[in-house]
Structure formats: structure tokens, C-alpha cells
Amino acid sequence: MPLLVVGSVALDSVETPQASRDDVLGGSAVYFSYAASYFTSVRLVGVVGEDWPNEHTQLLQSRSIDTQGLQIVHGKKTFRWRGKYMTNMNDRETLEVHLNVFGEFNPVVPEELRKCRYVFLANGLPTVQLQVLEQMHSPQLVMADTMDLWIVEHRDELMKVLGKIGGLVLNDSEAKLLTDEENLVKAGRLVQKMGPRFVVIKKGEHGAMFFSEHETYVLPAFPTERVVDPTGAGDSFAGGMMGYIAQQDRFDPKTLKEAMAYGVLVASFNVEDFSLDRMQQVERADLDRRMVEYKQMLSF
């Protein structure tokens, strides 16, 4: 089944202790789309400025990502983010944010995409997420991401989002902030009670936790020596997970766990280079080979 994603499309500048890159392809909807494209066809809704290199659009299209929903605003610039990773490659500092066109992002889902049954609302203003939802014709599964800023400053609107979605993905510090609870198991269960059918807490290098009414589990990250740039790990996790769900066209407990595992593996490749560089070298068969290793690692 096709999968619709609405979110940021960006030009990122990233500094790590080892190397740095300027103005590379990024944004939550981009990482998500590429990751999901291993499994299903993707419809991307986003906005860029006139400085957007057309080759980026071509790259996405080469992966069967439909970009008719990618609006180009002339006379304006693309969203830019500059960040710096600390030596642990986990903590990062945002050095610059220029929202540019993304600051006035008012997503209009093209009519023929409104019937998509699988929808991902990447991290964005909760009011914008709600606005997208209103345009959709009864989707089967909606998943969303969020961040600390919305938890603190737009809590009421975020709670409305939580009441309307099937799955929420957020990271560990966000789950603690949202629930004021330090124990992640308690935090995940509390978030799940706020509305979503299931909640995924992303723990970066430590993997991800899943919570539904009847299930709680953890899957570890795939251990890799090669962590070059963690940018987009969470979005490629979500893309791998939801791409698999949309491909399978079901989200029973068994499928959700397999989907989580694919999310973990796509993210494990994504961090191996800057931007989408590593993912561009990876095919579905590479994911399936790593899946064999991953399952073996968890069997005893």
C-alpha cells in the first residue's frame, strides 16, 4: 500500500568530531521517505525554496517516491539546519536553524493522495499535523512523531493529535518530558494511555521500546562500529518501520514487531555515513541479510 509522509525537507550542515558536511540533503520527511522506499511506494508532501537542487528531487523519484506534493516556493529559501555532534555521537547541539519556507508550511495534500491509507506525520507543529489529518479520507493507520518544543509549548494541540493517531514515535527524553516520569517503561505506558494504540520510544544507540495495551518490549540497536552521522536515524527508523507495515498492509502485533526490527536495521545503515549517502548504497537484500544476523543475535 502507498504511504504518505508530511514533514520537513531540508538542507543540513553537520559537524562531527571526525568530519563535517555543508548543505546536504536532509529533513525528517526525506529520511523517512527513503527508508520507507525499501518496502513500498511513498508520497512525499513538503515544501522547499528556489535554492532546492533539482538533483535531490530526482534522487527521491528514482526510489519511486512521488514528489507531486513537494511544493517549490519561488523567491524563498529551503529550511536549513546546522548541528554539531559531541564526541559521544549521541548528544548534539543545534548551531543554526533557518526555518525559511518551512516556517509557513501549510501543507495541502494533493487530492489524489488524500485516499492514502497509511500516513506518517513527521515532527512538526501539532496544529499542522491536525490540519493534514483533516484532509485525509479515513486513513487506516496514522503514525506521528513529535519533539520537546511542542510538548512544552503546544501541549493541548499535541494531546489532540495523540487522540487521533494509531502510533506515536518519540525519543526517550521526549517521553520523559511528556509524562514527567523518569522510568521509560512507566513513561511509555503513560504515553500510550494518552491515546495512541501503540507507542515507540526511540533510544538511539540503545534501540527502541514498544508499548501497546497488552505488550511491552525492547529491541536493541544493531551494534555497529561505524557511526559517522546519526542525523536522521530516528526518521529512517520510523520510515523502515512504517514502510514495512504499509507493504504488509496490516499492523497486528506480529507485523508491528517485524516492522520495529526493520526500522532498527534501516537506521543502523543510515548512521554509517552523512545524509542519505549510506542508504544509497543499500538495497532491500542488504536489509534482509542484516535481519538474518539480527535475529541470530537475539536467539539463544
The verdict on 227 binding a copy of itself (CB under 8 A) reads yes
CB 70 within 8 A of CB 44: yes
Q: Which of residues 50-89 bind a copy of itself (CB under 8 A)?
A: 87-89
Question: What is the SS3 assignment for 32?
Answer: helix
CB 179 within 8 A of CB 155: no
Q: Which is nearer to a copy of itself, 153 or 288 (CB)?
A: 288
The verdict on 217 binding a copy of itself (CB under 8 A) reads yes
- What angle separates helix 184-193 from helix 172-179, to the nearest 10 degrees? 60
Question: What is the SS3 assignment for 43?
Answer: strand
The verdict on 206 binding a copy of itself (CB under 8 A) reads yes
In the set 207, 232, 239, 263, which binds a copy of itself (CB under 8 A)?
A: 207
Q: Which is nearer to a copy of itself, 25 or 261 (CB)?
A: 261
Contacts of 144 (CB under 8 A, 6+ apart): 120, 121, 122, 129, 161, 165, 167, 168, 169
In the set 115, 137, 155, 254, which binds a copy of itself (CB under 8 A)?
A: 254
- CB 92 → a copy of itself: shortest distance, Å? 14
The verdict on 224 binding a copy of itself (CB under 8 A) reads yes
Q: Which of residues 86-105 bind a copy of itself (CB under 8 A)?
A: 87-89
- CB 45 → a copy of itself: shortest distance, Å? 31
Contacts of 113 (CB under 8 A, 6+ apart): 4, 43, 45, 66, 68, 69
In the set 57, 71, 140, 216, which binds a copy of itself (CB under 8 A)?
A: 216
Q: Which is nearer to a copy of itself, 137 or 289 (CB)?
A: 289
The verdict on 185 binding a copy of itself (CB under 8 A) reads yes
Amino acid letter, residue 103: G
Q: Using alpha carbons, select from 267, 260, 271, 266 the residue that is nearest to residue 288.
A: 266
The stretch among 43-51, 131-139, 147-155, 179-187 that binds a copy of itself (CB under 8 A) is 179-187
Rounded alpha-carbon distances, angstroms, from residue 214 to 167, 200, 211, 248, 253: 15, 14, 8, 22, 10
Report d(CA 217, CA 231) in Å as an integer.
25
The verdict on 136 binding a copy of itself (CB under 8 A) reads no
Backbone angles phi, psi at 8, to 5 degrees: -80, 145
The stretch among 74-82, 105-113, 125-133, 180-188 that binds a copy of itself (CB under 8 A) is 180-188
The verdict on 289 binding a copy of itself (CB under 8 A) reads no
Enter the C-alpha cell of residue 193.
494511555
The verdict on 287 binding a copy of itself (CB under 8 A) reads no
Give residues in contact with a copy of itself (CB under 8 A). 87-89, 182-186, 189, 203, 205-207, 209, 216-221, 223-225, 227, 254, 257-258, 260-261, 295, 297-300
